[in-house]
Every structure is written in structure tokens, then in C-alpha cells.
A and B are shown apart, each in its own frame.
Chain A
Amino acid sequence: MNKHLRSILVALCFCVPLVANAAIEAHEFDSPEQEELFRELTRELRCPKCQNNNISDSNAGLAQDLREKTYQMVKSGSDKQQVLDYMVARYGNFVRYDPPLTPAVLTLWLAPIGIIFIGGFTVWRLARRKKSAQPELDSQEQQRLAELLKQTEQKK
């Protein structure tokens, strides 16, 4: 292969575009803490329109609006809880990727453990019953068993 061509190919390999995950918007913050809070919130808030995207990843109009609102609130000094409360009051807990522990959420977490527990208990019960259900031979039956064994031995 031509030496030049090879070096061009190698150069091309480095041109793989680096796909940025977050939408690019210029936001100015008063402090690095505010910026960090903004990043954290836009990662934790879920876009109601384009599900399975957080509002940082999504470029839907609604996600842009919510980003902008988050920015304004953070910039004007709101803390994390205030922003989350604001969003939840409008879009419900759906809007959070880290929802609070409601009874429904608790059920979702505990139901599988409960089902495994019930299954385990049932297996244990069945196993115990089988063991205890093995009939003991009374003395008469034992005698008969011994006779039968003797007979088969004599036949050999």
C-alpha cells in the first residue's frame, strides 16, 4: 500500500466524531456549585415527552423548556429540592429518575422478594411432608418383608 495513502487512513481513524451526549447550550453560572447542581438536575429529571431520556440528553422542545426553567431556578438560587418540587407539582413523580419511596414503589421492590420467599416456603413444606409421609412398617409387615427377602435368596 502506498505510504501516503496509509498515513491518510491512519489520520482518518482519528477523525471519528466524538458524539456528545448532552445538548450544547451556553449557560453562565454564578458559581461552580450552581453549575454542578444544574448538571445533576438535568441528569435526574426525566423528559415527559421523550421517555427514557433525561432532559439533559433530549433535544425535544419540552426538554429544552424544562432545562431552561431549571437553569433559571438554579441561577436565582433555588436548591435541588425546590426545583424537584416544582417539576413534580407539574409532571408528577414520573419526571424524576430517582422517585421517592411511595407504597407503589415499595411494592415493586418487595413483591419479587416476597414471591421468592413464598416459593421457598412452599418447597420446604412439601419436602418435609414427603419425608414424614414415608410409612413405617409395623412388626407384622417387617416379618413379611424378611420372609420375602429370604425366599428370593433361596431361589438364587
Chain B
Amino acid sequence: MNKRAMYFLLPLIAFLFMAVFLYRGLYSDATELESVLIGKPVPQFTLQDIYQQDKQHDAAIFKGQPLLLNVWATWCPTCRAEHTFLNSLAAQGVKIVGLNYKDDRSKAIKWLEQLGNPYQVNLYDGKGLLALDLGVYGAPETYFIDSQGVIRYRHVGDVNARNWQETLGPIFSGLE
């Protein structure tokens, strides 16, 4: 390449690079944080079942098949918005574990009775212990966990038909 072309092309390339970078920044959501637990197993925990206080669950429930871990609470309006879609996902055969986060147990049970229960297992995390270990910073959050119990993806915000079809569904069916 001759020198003149270089003088022309280099700034052009630099400009295009910056333009793409800044353009992406324009639409990136600054409130969406990358989870540091991607690629790591679900932290150890022992939590009560939401229905039965004497029934305990631990991280073993995440082994065997890919599933979703949905963090929800009755005080979270977005959780209500996504609940219907979770019901339909469960009806399609998607396995979902529910983590009731810093909530009132009786309110949560009432919610499940009224709105339906899409969850295979219902964990009750009244103090937010597992949620803290997971780095949950707001409900709803949904973790994609493979059959080895390793976290592969985290989605912050509601799961709905659109983002499931566009991004989340393919990620879930890609889990091993």
C-alpha cells in the first residue's frame, strides 16, 4: 500500500472503529451488569422449601438437567408481569426453579396459588442469603444453569415472549 493511501485509510479506520464503539454505547444498558458467576457452579446453600419449613434444599437440585433459576418477590411489579410468561414456559416443559427473595412467606404462597406455580422447586430465601452469593441486585433475575449445575448466563429484568424468542430461548436450548 502506498503512503498516501495509508494517510487516508488510517484515520478512516480509526473513525469507523470509534463510531461503531460509540454507537453501541448509545444503546447499551448501563444498569445491566455482567455476572461474575458465569462459568461457575451455583454457590452452596441450604434453604427451606417455601411450602414446608422442615423441607430443605441444597445445590444438588441443579444437577441433572438444564434449568432456569428465577429470582422473584411479591414486592416486585416486574415479577408479576413476567409470571404469566413463566407459566407458559413451564407448560412448554422448561424446568424452572423459583427463588423467593426477601419476601413474606405467606404472601408468596398466596401469589403462587393465585397466579399459578411455574416452578419445579420453590426455594424460600427470606434473608437473601443465596441471592447475595449469586450477586442478585434486583428482582427479577433469571439464571441459566446447565445440567452440571454451572451458571451459564444471567438475565436481568423480565423474561417475556420477545426476548425469549430473540435471545434467551436459543441460549437455553444451547445449554448442555
Spell out A's residues near B (CB within 8 Å): 48-49, 51, 61-62, 65, 69, 88-92, 94
Contacts and interface: CB of A to CB of B under 8 A. Distances in A.
Nearest to B31: A51
A90 B31 contact: no
B157 to A, nearest CB: 13
Contacts of B36: 88-92
Nearest to A61: B102
A90 B138 contact: no
B135 A49 contact: no
26 contacts: A48-B33, A48-B135, A48-B137, A49-B137, A49-B138, A61-B102, A62-B137, A62-B138, A65-B128, A65-B132, A69-B132, A88-B36, A89-B36, A90-B37, A90-B132, A90-B133, A90-B135, A91-B33, A91-B36, A91-B137, A92-B33, A92-B34, A92-B35, A92-B36, A92-B135, A94-B33
A58 to B, nearest CB: 12
Main secondary structure of the interface of A (DSSP, over half): helix
Main secondary structure of the interface of B (DSSP, over half): loop
Given A65-B128, A90-B135, A94-B33, 17 more contacts: A48-B135, A49-B137, A49-B138, A51-B30, A51-B31, A61-B102, A62-B137, A69-B132, A89-B36, A90-B132, A90-B134, A91-B36, A91-B135, A92-B33, A92-B34, A92-B35, A92-B36
Nearest to A87: B135
Contacts, number: 31
Interface residues of B, number: 15
A49 to B, nearest CB: 5
Nearest to A62: B137
Nearest to A94: B33
Interface in B111-165: 128, 132-135, 137-138
User: Which 8 pairs between the two chains have the least Cβ-Cβ distance?
Assistant: A48-B137, A90-B135, A92-B36, A49-B137, A91-B135, A49-B138, A62-B137, A94-B33
A49 B37 CA distance: 17
Nearest to A91: B135
Nearest to B30: A51
Contacts of B34: 92
